[in-house]
Amino acid sequence: MRHALAAATLFLAVTPAAAQEMRAEASEVQAHVEFLADDLLEGRGSGQRGYDLAALYVASRYRALGLEPAGDNGTYLQDILYRRSSLTGSEVLLNGNRNGDIKVTPNVDDERLSIDAELVFVGYGLEAGAYGHDSYAGVDVTGKIVVVFNGTPDLPDNLNSDIPAHLGNSKVDSAARRGAAGVITIGAGRFVNFFANRPTTAWIDDKGRASNLPGDLKMRAFVSTGDAKKLFERSGRDFDALVDAARKGDALPSFDLRSEMSVEASFEWSEFNAPNVVAKLPGANPAMANEHVAMTGHLDHLGIREDKKGDNIYNGALDNASGIATMLEAARLFATAADKPDRSIVFIAFSAEELGLLGASYYATNPTVSDLIGVVNLDMPVPLYDFTDVTAFGAPHNTVAIAVAEAGAEIGISVAPDPMPNQAIFTRSDHYEFAKKGIPAILLFTGYGNGGEAKWNKFFADYYHQAGDDLSLDINYPALARYAELNYRIAKRLANNPQRPLWYEGNFFGDLFAPDAPKAPAE
C-alpha cells in the first residue's frame, strides 16, 4: 500500500514538453563507461588488479570535483578485508555412520570445523508469524543443527513478491537468532551442487568477525531431497509426505529428528582487499548537515575467467559501469551547482556486490558517516533505447517513491509498477543491505515503455553476466545521461525535504527493520 500522495503521483503521465532542462551530459557518462568497461580494467573483479584501477579512477574523480574524502583515515577508500575459503576435506557422521551426502560449505571463521549436535526439523525455517508460519514455535534449537526445506510456503496471493524473497534469504539469520549451531538445507540436486561446489567469501572486520555466519552458527550444509530421507529415519515421520507437502507449499510441522550429527572439516583460506570508494558533499544547512542521503552503485563485476576460451573478460559495461558513471555525473551536478543541498550527500562505489552484496553489507554495518536517512542505488540501467519510464524497486515500501515520481515529472519520465515481480529485484542489489538496517532505500531500472521490454529481455537472455556486456553494445549515452539527471533530482529532493524519508504504516519491511521509527500513513 502507498501513501495517498505517492499513489497520486507515481503514475502521473508527463509529456516531454513539460520537462525541465537537463544538466547531465552524455559525454561525461560516456567517458566514465568507456574507461571502466575497457579491457584494460579486466572486468573489475574484486581483489583483482582491474578493480583497484577502477577504485583509483573513482577516487580521482571525487578529488577533481572537490568532494571530501569519507573513507578511512582521511582517504576516499574504505578498506575491506575479504576472505575466501575452500573445503579441503570433511567427514560427516549421522548417528555414528558415515554420510557423504551432506555437503558442508566452506567456513571463513575457523580453518577447522568440529561440531557434535542434535538435529531438529523446522519446516521452511521461517519466522513469518504474520502469515501463519513460525517454524520455531514449540521447538528448542539452542546449540542444535536445524534442518530446513528450501523455498517458502504458499503465502497470500496478493503478497508483494519482495516479502517471500526476503524470507527465503533470512533462514540462516532466523536460525542464528534462535541459537542454532548449524543449518542443513534440503533442496534439489542442482541447487545443492551450486552451493556445495563453490568457495565461500565473506568480509572480516577489524575484530576478526566474519559476515557470513551470524550469531553462534558454526556450520552451513546442503543435502539433496533424495538423500535427505536418512535424516528422518528415527523421527517416526513420513518423509515422503513432508516432501509432497513442501512441493505444494503447505504448512510444515517442526519436530525433533531424534538423531545426532558429528562434522569434522578443514578449509583453505586466501585473503584479498577490495575497498569501497566513498566521498561526501557537506550539506549547507547546519541544522540538517549531519543527516546524509547516499547515492550508491557497485563498482565490481566478474573479472577475468581464466578457464573460458575466447573473450574471457567480463567487462560489465551496463552491470555496472553505467551505474557508476551516472553516480559520478550526479556528483558533478551536485558539486558544480550554485545552491548546495541542505543535507549532506555521500557517494559510495561498492566492492564485491557480485559476491553477495558484500561491500554494501560492510558499509551498512560500518558506516563512515552519521545518520544515513535514505539511499538511492544505481545498478544496471539498460540505456539501449530512449526510455520514457522507470521502475522504482522499493516504491511500495517507503516514501522515497514520492521523490522518484516528482523528480521524474520534472523531466518527462513516468514511474511504472514492477514489470518483473518474479525477479524480486528489491532483495538483489546493494540498497537491500541498507533497508535491513531500517533505512528507506530504492533502486531504479529503466522501464519497459517505448520498446524497453524487448531490450530488457534480450539483455537478460544474451548479455547479463556474460562477456558480451561490453562496449560493443549500442549504448544510448543521452539516455544514460537522462538516468543520471533523474537520480540527481531524486537525491536532491531527499536532501532538501524537511521530512526524512519514512516507511509506510503496516509495511512488512518497515515493521520488521524499523519497528520504532515514525511511519508515513498508508492508504
What is the pairing mode between strands 276-281 and 200-204? Answer: unpaired
Distances (CA, A) of 510 to 128, 160, 518: 14, 14, 10
Average pLDDT in the chain? 93
Q: Examine the pLDDT at 16 and tell me if it is beyond 70.
A: no
d(CA 307, CA 304): 9
- Residue of 506, 391, 508 lying closest to 10 (CA atoms): 391
pLDDT band at 196 (very low <50, low <70, confident <90, very high): confident
d(CA 281, CA 35): 24
Distances (CA, A) of 361 to 97, 326, 371: 39, 22, 16
Cell numbers for 12, please give them: 502521473
pLDDT band at 19 (very low <50, low <70, confident <90, very high): low
Question: Bridge-partner residues for 466, per DSSP?
Answer: none
pLDDT band at 209 (very low <50, low <70, confident <90, very high): confident
Q: Examine the pLDDT at 13 and tell me if it is beyond 80.
A: no
Q: Examine the pLDDT at 15 and tell me if it is beyond 70.
A: no
d(CA 405, CA 215): 40
The CATH number fitting domain 4-80+274-520, selected from 3.30.565.10, 3.40.630.10, 3.40.50.450, 3.90.470.20: 3.40.630.10
- Residue of 366, 335, 332, 389 lying closest to 16 (CA atoms): 389
CATH code given to domain 85-271? 3.50.30.30
Backbone angles phi, psi at 144, to 5 degrees: -110, 170
Burial of 512 (0-12, 13-18, 19+ CB in 10 A): middle
Q: Examine the pLDDT at 306 and tell me if it is beyond 50.
A: yes
Where in the chain is CATH 3.40.630.10?
Answer: 4-80+274-520
d(CA 11, CA 263): 55
Where in the chain is CATH 3.50.30.30?
Answer: 85-271
Q: Examine the pLDDT at 522 and tell me if it is beyond 90.
A: no
Q: Examine the pLDDT at 11 and tell me if it is beyond 50.
A: no
Q: What is the mean pLDDT of residues 110-120?
A: 96
Q: What pLDDT is attached to residue 6?
A: 36
The pLDDT tens digits for 21-37 are 889 999 999 999 999 99
Q: What pLDDT is attached to residue 25?
A: 97
pTM value? 0.93
Only one residue has cell 535424516, namely 231
Cell numbers for 344, please give them: 549532506
The pLDDT tens digits for 471-491 are 999 999 999 999 999 999 999
Q: How many CB atoms lie within 10 A of CB 95?
A: 15
Q: What pLDDT is attached to residue 324?
A: 98
Q: What is the mean pLDDT of residues 88-92?
A: 96
Count how many Cα atoms sit within 13 Å of the Cα of residue 288 in the half-sphere of its side chain: 20
Does residue 8 or residue 113 have the better pLDDT?
Answer: 113
CA angle 410, 414, 419 (to 5 degrees): 155
Q: Examine the pLDDT at 157 and tell me if it is beyond 80.
A: no
Q: Examine the pLDDT at 7 and tell me if it is beyond 70.
A: no
Q: Examine the pLDDT at 453 and tell me if it is beyond 50.
A: yes
- Residue of 455, 70, 131, 518 lying closest to 280 (CA atoms): 70
Q: What pLDDT is attached to residue 523?
A: 61
Handedness of CA 448, 449, 454, 458 (dihedral sign): negative
Q: What is the percent of the chain with per-residue pLDDT over 70, rounded to a whole number?
A: 96
Only one residue has cell 523531466, namely 411
Q: What pLDDT is attached to residue 129?
A: 76
The pLDDT tens digits for 117-148 are 999 999 999 988 778 788 999 999 999 999 99
Q: What pLDDT is attached to residue 18?
A: 44
The pLDDT tens digits for 390-427 are 999 998 999 999 999 999 999 999 999 999 888 889 99
Specify the DSSP element, H or E, that contains 87.
Answer: strand 81-94
Residue 283 near residue 342, CB atoms below 8 Å: yes
Q: What is the mean pLDDT of residues 345-366?
A: 97
Cell numbers for 135, please give them: 517454524
Q: What pLDDT is attached to residue 26?
A: 98
- For the chain, the distance separating the N- and C-terminal CA atoms, rounded to the nearest angstrom, is 6
Cell numbers for 435, please give them: 533497508
Q: What is the mean pLDDT of residues 202-207?
A: 92
